[in-house]
Structure 1
Amino acid sequence: MTQKTQLTQVSSELQNLTVTKSNTATAASSYVLTDLGTLGGHLCVAKDINDSAQIVGYSITSSGQRRAFIWTPTKGMEDIYTLSNTSTCAYSINDYGQVVGYFVSDSGQRKAFIWDQTKGFQDINAESDNFSEAYGINNFGQVVGCAISSDGNRKAFVWDSKHGMEYINNGSEIESIAYSINNSGEVVGYSLSSDLMVKAFVWNSNKGVQELPGFLGSDINMSGQVVGFYAVPEDNNRAFLWNGSNKFQDLGTISGNVDLQFFDSEANSINNSGLIVGYSDRIIDLEKELWGRKAFIWDSVNKMQDLNDLIDTNDPWILREARAINNHGQIVGWGNKAQSRHAFLLTPIS
């Protein structure tokens, strides 16, 4: 199938999809896979997708440079041009096509940016040449990420065009990073306290910081459900779901309760229907303790499923990690295709 045919198919599938508002949705039984291509090199990673199937991430160019991209069903993959001709990376996109990520400044420092087709590129930490990266943006243009503060530590921030960059503080952390913000202004991430304890947190401007049982919060939906991962014995991480009412759920792994060192699962994204995606190690040979990283989708009925089992088996892919899921159930991430790492889009077959 040519890329042009794939783009047409994705556009057709998107028109037939509706946003589900229930929190009891289940994963599709199968998905159409679209190879997003590259900017000329052999590596591409998709980081986020909005409800119009606009996708962002980064790709290596033919000259070996890392560049942020935006992909659309009609135009395919395009380089996001910034003020810098060096490395760039896009992490998140909202439903208005506003993109955030980082670029490398002339001094060699990573700097957070916001970009859209109309206003172009803006350095959101222009007052400082310190390190900063933007990881999430909601539909009100509120941006979250981390930046080096005056004390030399990484601090989670919230930025908008009116107030600029403001740090999220709970008074005890020595490091913090914010990864996602929903349309209610609730933020999730992680913080490192002075006694070196790492905790996931949720924050809003009214209630301040609330620590969660997890290790890191990666995403939050409009119901206040949080996903991420937490640490378990044997140096493992496990994906979790926190429903906003102090109910904490271990999502397990694709292979069940396997007790092997460094056998992990991590949840990266949750949509408003409660569908969760990420990656999980999957047993290849238990006797030899061999496993491989596989992309997963989780729902409350079917639990964790390997996305490789839900695509056409004739596709020469191994889906390694699902990075984001939109409210139509479309999923993006990266996987291995031949000897290359490519970005993929999965569209549910209705």
Structure 2
Amino acid sequence: MPMKTIVCLGLALAAAVAHAEEPPVFHRYAITPLVGGTGFEAYINSSGAIAATQRSPDRAFVWTSPGQRRFLDIPIAGKPAVSGINDAGTVVGQVEYQIDPSSLSAGAYIANANGTYVNIGAAFPSYSLAHYVNNSGTAVGEFGTVAGPEKAFIYNNGTLTTVGAENSWDGIGFHAINDSGSIAGSQRGNRTGVFTAFTYHDGQFTYLPGLGGTVNSVHDIDSAGTVVGGSNFSGDAYGHAVMWRDGEAIDLTPGFAYSTTAFGLNDLGQVVGTGSGPGWIWTDGRVAQLNQLIDPASGWSIDSAFDINNAGQIVAHGCKAMLTECGVLLLDPLGLVPDPPPVPEPSTVLLLLAGLSVLFAGRLHHR
């Protein structure tokens, strides 16, 4: 056997042994379905309270334990959606309403745990979306104007601040804010379909690099200012989930042969997301599909993971076989388990979705 081949085999064996000796970082998860949690948006705070929606009838609610739901009777006519919940139980979101038979719009709201509401949308007659609320009660989002492109807003204790796009960009949205006031969002190029991610603090923009494509989406920011979202590869055929840390774009799902996006992260560096395949979790540089970490006897298959708190609890969406039951799921971590086997290839149906933009769920944000 040639010496080069022997060396290569030796290196591969050493790498395999080193990986096998790595301490486990993944948990097995217990599943609790949320009764009535049928919408495709759900977010969790540090105490495990979940903001979610049900359909038919359309209502938003906060779930705290099995059988415990507090409905948000938002005094705005329309179809409510949630976008986030903070540790005090304050929820933000938007209410969709019909403008005419062929078009919809939305108005932003804040729903406080004491039952009071703020109709942010009243300030923006065209449309508005509240994406996120931090533990200081500061909400961020975006709104449209009759005369021009989207702008961003910051709302805190009755004070509303608006921010326009910088330089040649013609649209902007604030998508997440941490407790230090650092904001993450994206700006859209003038009729080009280009989306660039950024952070914003004390009036200053810092633009974030991507993976080579023209579309970058932002979904969450942690207490240290680390941002997660998605970024297209060159050519924009598909993209991968990204973590922006220390000015670098880190591909979180390098082994996935289909589109992925990161939706939530906690202060422990754990990230969850979804894409054209099942929901997944990334931690300590390793990634696993959540379906590999639940009891197969449960019958559930997890298609999306929306959010994760500092206790490691995950809020996700899943279905049973033949779509006999679908809904929002709470995943509670159990004991650590060895790394699951490599990520399997997606089905043909899932691959057909691979060309979708990583912005397909750009309205999903939390906390």
1:16-65 residue CA offsets vs partner (Å, 9 max, x unmatched): xxxxxxxxx975420111101216xxx3334210011110122212xxx4
CA distance 1:162–1:117, shift in 2 (3 Å)? closer
CA distance 1:158–1:71, shift in 2 (3 Å)? same
1:276-306 residue CA offsets vs partner (Å, 9 max, x unmatched): 000144xxxxxxxxxxx200000124x1100
Equivalent position of 1:213 in the other structure: 209
* Alignment partner of 1:120 is 2:116: yes
Say if 1:296 and 1:307, in contact at 8 Å, map to a contact too: yes
CA distance 1:74–1:185, shift in 2 (3 Å)? same
* Alignment partner of 1:306 is 2:282: no
Aligned residue among 286, 289, 297 for 2:281: 297
Equivalent position of 2:334 in the other structure: 349
Q: How many residues align?
A: 300
CA distance in 2, matches of 1:193, 1:280: 24
When normalised by structure 1's length, the TM-score is: 0.80
Say if 1:240 and 1:251, in contact at 8 Å, map to a contact too: yes
* Alignment partner of 1:136 is 2:132: yes
Equivalent position of 1:9 in the other structure: none
CA distance 1:50–1:157, shift in 2 (3 Å)? same
Unaligned runs of 5+ in 2: 1-22, 211-215, 336-367
Give 1:126 deviation, angstroms: 2.1
Aligned residue among 325, 328, 338 for 2:311: 328
Compare the two structures and name the one with the higher helix fraction. Answer: 2
SS at match of 2:292: helix
Bigger mean CA deviation after superposition, 168-177 or 81-90: 168-177
Equivalent position of 2:200 in the other structure: 203
SS at match of 1:314: helix
Equivalent position of 1:53 in the other structure: 48
Equivalent position of 1:71 in the other structure: 63
CA distance 1:257–1:38, shift in 2 (3 Å)? closer
Equivalent position of 2:363 in the other structure: none
CA distance 1:96–1:26, shift in 2 (3 Å)? farther
Equivalent position of 1:100 in the other structure: 92
Equivalent position of 1:8 in the other structure: none
Equivalent position of 2:259 in the other structure: 264
Equivalent position of 2:339 in the other structure: none
Equivalent position of 1:179 in the other structure: 175
CA distance in 1, matches of 2:24, 2:308: 13
User: Letter of the aligned partner of 2:89 in structure 1?
Assistant: G
CA distance in 1, matches of 2:137, 2:92: 10
SS at match of 2:122: coil
SS at match of 2:92: strand
Aligned residue among 39, 52, 67 for 1:44: 39
Give 1:177 deviation, angstroms: 1.8
User: Letter of the aligned partner of 2:201 in structure 1?
Assistant: N
Give 1:348 deviation, angstroms: 0.7
1:58-93 residue CA offsets vs partner (Å, 9 max, x unmatched): 2212xxx43222111264334311113431111100
CA distance 1:198–1:279, shift in 2 (3 Å)? same
Give 1:168 deviation, angstroms: 4.8
Bigger mean CA deviation after superposition, 147-156 or 84-93: 147-156
User: Letter of the aligned partner of 2:71 in structure 1?
Assistant: D
Aligned residue among 237, 240, 254 for 1:238: 240
When normalised by structure 2's length, the TM-score is: 0.76
SS at match of 1:274: coil
User: Letter of the aligned partner of 1:95 in structure 2?
Assistant: D
CA distance 1:27–1:155, shift in 2 (3 Å)? farther
Say if 1:27 and 1:297, in contact at 8 Å, map to a contact too: no
CA distance 1:151–1:234, shift in 2 (3 Å)? closer
Q: Percent sequence identity over matched residues?
A: 27
Give 1:321 deviation, angstroms: 0.6
Say if 1:33 and 1:345, in contact at 8 Å, map to a contact too: yes
Say if 1:109 and 1:129, in contact at 8 Å, map to a contact too: no
CA distance in 1, matches of 2:109, 2:25: 34
CA distance in 1, matches of 2:105, 2:248: 40
Equivalent position of 1:31 in the other structure: 29
CA distance in 2, matches of 1:223, 1:304: 21
CA distance in 2, matches of 1:327, 1:320: 22
CA distance in 2, matches of 1:190, 1:212: 10
SS at match of 1:173: coil
Compare the two structures and name the one with the higher strand fraction. Answer: 1
CA distance in 1, matches of 2:140, 2:93: 10
User: Letter of the aligned partner of 1:54 in structure 2?
Assistant: A
Larger radius of gyration: 2
User: Letter of the aligned partner of 2:197 in structure 1?
Assistant: A
Say if 1:146 and 1:156, in contact at 8 Å, map to a contact too: yes
CA distance in 1, matches of 2:236, 2:262: 19
CA distance 1:114–1:234, shift in 2 (3 Å)? closer
CA distance 1:328–1:168, shift in 2 (3 Å)? farther
SS at match of 1:308: helix
